[in-house]
Structure 1
């Protein structure tokens, strides 16, 4: 592997990490994970986003690099519009969850180990202190796909790849960019997960205020996204 490809890989990873922290990415995933207590679960949601984002870029980008075809602008524009709608929907959905759900911290022990969990009060009433079975959700994966089609991702990832000297170096760049996005969003998930734990340690009411701010910010950003 020559120095040009190595430099291209490092460039792709670096730009990918920065791209993961775009406002629409951060806001969408924050709204998704705002009622998750375990930082590992938060990180997993963000990891799924990174997988979806990377897969669509790798598939489309590789096709564009190999066959030298360009993606019509309408695809990116449509995805941009859908991102704005998504942010509004996520914000409204979070507001509804806050209104309907009463969050409560419960503690239970496994032998000498004690765990703290954030659960719904009505589920505690139905099941005692048994933890409800959590559904396996794949929405972050599809949100990642949508973000991969929208915004600056096609420009940042695909255009440099199209201008690369060889097709293989272009594909290397696409992979590196996607890996950088995955790393960046996973790190963001870990940070948000730990931050939510800190807020919960202070007060569940403060945690609800935190979620209200996230919801309104998501709706506001979505509206701005659609207008601009």
Structure 2
């Protein structure tokens, strides 16, 4: 399989300022940023178009709710910029960006990405398989994007701010120039009073977004 790497003329890793923020502040700022995956077939570059915030020990939707620190959640307690990957339903991997300071378990779930070029889309489609019949089917959903990017638990605990990492984050669009909306997170009824908080953020009308909420609200920057 021949896939030419799509390296920009100038690429800059996301700086520590974003990773140091609480998840609720970091989640909209991650929209438009470039996720870069190095594979044996070449680099895949894509733009983040949907995120969910999981905001620390008080958030009943978080794996670290109440300060739970287990073998799985230990990565969430590390310094912001760490990769947190977990498995759901025994078959789907989910990619998270750990944020905030060490010992304060915040994470942003990456729910959807958009390939930057036709070459990126082609390689993602070859990994995703026949299920990728449309943009959302390719990488609209945490499990789908992980399959399309060959992301699994072998990347758990690595850093996104290391240029040599097989998975890294680089600067992309200016988030404040994007048309961002917010809505409740997906499939977390167990989160009780936190279940309906509008802590999911996505680009309005983007075809790669996993679920568009009829009650979406424009996101207003503070």
Q: TM-score range by the shorter chain?
A: under 0.3
Q: Which has the higher contact order (CA 8 A, sep 6+)?
A: 1
If each structure's strand is expressed as a fraction of its own residues, which one has the higher value? 2
If each structure's helix is expressed as a fraction of its own residues, which one has the higher value? 1
